[in-house]
Structure 1
Amino acid sequence: MNSKIKEIISYYDSDNPGVRSNLVKILNHGKLAGTGHLVILPVDQGFEHGPAKSFSMNKHAYDPEYHISLALEAGLSAYAAPLGMLEVVAAKYAGEIPFILKINSSNSLSANSSDYDQAVTASVEDALRLGCSAIGFTIYPGSDRANDMIEEIQKISLEAKRNGLAIVIWSYPRGRGISKKGETAIDVIAYAAHIAALIGAHIIKVKLPSSDLELSENKGVYEKNSIKVKLLAERVHHIMSSAFAGKRMVLFFRRGI
């Protein structure tokens, strides 16, 4: 518990010792331990896109042990996966890396462009049984089902926090009111990060934003208030500001990295 980790944990004073201990466990694991930075390996691609599309380019990737071994070898902060994948590896790798149970998922077989949603596929009880430090949950701000997803995680996160588990929220804007380009626009990503913080996420995962502005009413706001978004560092700073002025941890995802 160096001064940096103590500062971060101080932002979560409303949480019980179990939640705070699990956050410290994640922050103090791997090559970035103690720096206040995180790298988490999430492996839910098979659910989202199917096994062949996700793993056929590397036959070893069909095996759940491949992914957790990769996370360990790389010295990552935590490993996140759906229920079945963690059930394969949890006993063998118990205590070697913090686990995050991804408790909802979608699949491309039932995709609907205007009705983005995910099915709840695991529980807080499963996370405790498998020795997880946190649960992960995806919401789609902008979807017709966004409010339903937010209500789902509110009920689940109450149980999780009571049992000492941290909450990681994937906040990915999409829906018929948001263009494909707008899914990574700086104003939309900032909004998505803020929503995740507002509903109680300890760690927020968003896509790396572009400098585009999606919502017409925001263009004047950004210009009037001199919000700088031209440089990537400026955009990251703006997202962190939207996550309670940096008082919530934010992970950035960019496809291909």
Structure 2
Amino acid sequence: MTPIVKNILDKYEGTSPAVKANLARILMHGKLGGTGKLVILPVDQGFEHGPARSFAVNPAAYDPHYHYQIAIDAGLSAYAAPLGMLEAGADTFAGQIPTILKVNSSNSWATSINQAQTGSVEDALRLGCAAIGFTIYPGSDHIFEMMEQIRALREEAEAAGLATVIWSYPRGGDISKDGELALDVGAYAAHMAALLGAHIIKVKLPSAHIEQKDAKKAYEKLDASTQAKRVAHVVQASFAGRRVVVFSGGASKGADAVYQDARDIRDGGGNGSIIGRNTFQRERGEALEMLAKLIAIYKNEE
């Protein structure tokens, strides 16, 4: 274990050695192993957006083995997916990359802002996962149920030695569309995930917009002029950097924008990227090239 990773794990006081061992599995794996930086491949978009919207642009990506293999070949830190996707390659790829079982999911037809539980801690153990992943929607009318659900699941995961990753995506209630990416809202979402016991926090990159009327005064003196500075504030809101924070890649975008996001995450003190559509919707060779460059950025080589 490197001093950097040991320093990260030392900040997880009150956490069992078994959970720390699984966090170390992720932090020490792949081409970024030992650096404190992560690039994780998440493939839950088939649930969220449908198979054609997710994979038709690159038909090879309909095959669950494709995602396992690209994550392994790229030297990524971990691969996160729902139950069926992980099961479809669990035997072939056992032990080759740390996996994260996404235990709740939604779909694009739902009229309420909610998710259903689609996997369990028992499933994660059976599949040899290092962690479970769970989405909460701060702002949703269902947020309190979701908070209670992840509290119970996290307790069960901790008892089993698994880490917990929380996707914290504000939406619903009084939050406007612009507000979903607002700096104050994003920092609040990351803080909520930390308070719920997340070992790894996943949030979206924040804009400079301040959504909450009552928060505007608190943000008057904060310099949010660059994306790196906004990342630094989200990290600050995550227990002053005592929790690992990764940022989602979002909708498909140009390669230069993806690379700039990574530089801003790095420069702002974030721990890395959890990037799906911007890689698997590209042809395999192009995706591997992009992932190699992202890793180089997080190594300060780009």
TM > 0.5 fold call: yes
Residue matched to 2:42: 42
The one of 159, 164, 179 aligned to 2:156: 159
TM alignment of 1:14-93, pairs within 5 A: 14-93=14-93
TM alignment of 1:88-167, pairs within 5 A: 88-110=88-110, 112=111, 115-167=112-164
Deviations 1:97-137 (A, max 9, x none): 00000000001122x2xx31000001000000000000000
Residue matched to 1:178: 175
Cα distance in structure 2, aligned partners of 1:101 and 1:185: 28
Q: 1:151 deviation in Å?
A: 0.4
Deviations 1:13-55 (A, max 9, x none): 2111110000001000111111101111000000001111111
Deviations 1:167-209 (A, max 9, x none): 0000000003111111000000000000000010000000000
Question: What is the identity, as a one-letter code, of the residue corresponding to 1:75?
Answer: G
Q: 1:254 deviation in Å?
A: 3.0
Cα distance in structure 2, aligned partners of 1:65 and 1:197: 33
Residue matched to 1:235: 230
Q: Secondary structure at the match of 2:173?
A: coil
Q: 1:245 deviation in Å?
A: 0.3
Q: Secondary structure at the match of 2:109?
A: helix
Q: Does 1:205 align with 2:196?
A: no
Cα distance in structure 2, aligned partners of 1:142 and 1:79: 28
Question: What is the identity, as a one-letter code, of the residue corresponding to 1:100?
Answer: I
The one of 248, 255, 268 aligned to 1:253: 248
Question: What is the identity, as a one-letter code, of the residue corresponding to 1:192?
Answer: A
Question: What is the identity, as a one-letter code, of the residue corresponding to 1:107?
Answer: N
Question: What is the identity, as a one-letter code, of the residue corresponding to 1:230?
Answer: S
Q: Secondary structure at the match of 2:194?
A: helix
Question: What is the identity, as a one-letter code, of the residue corresponding to 2:237?
Answer: S
Cα distance in structure 1, aligned partners of 2:69 and 2:178: 35
Cα distance in structure 2, aligned partners of 1:93 and 1:68: 7
Q: Secondary structure at the match of 2:139?
A: coil
- TM-score normalised by the chain length of structure 2: 0.82
Q: How many residues align?
A: 252
Q: Secondary structure at the match of 1:160?
A: helix
Deviations 1:134-189 (A, max 9, x none): 00000000000001001000011101000000000000000031111110000000
Q: Which runs of 5+ in 1 are unaligned?
A: none
Question: What is the identity, as a one-letter code, of the residue corresponding to 2:209?
Answer: D
Cα distance in structure 2, aligned partners of 1:58 and 1:5: 36
Superposed CA RMSD: 0.8
Q: Which runs of 5+ in 2 are unaligned?
A: 253-257, 259-302
Question: What is the identity, as a one-letter code, of the residue corresponding to 1:43?
Answer: V
Q: Per chain length, whose mean CA-contact separation is higher, i.e. which structure has more relative contact order (CA < 8 Å, sep 6+)?
A: 2
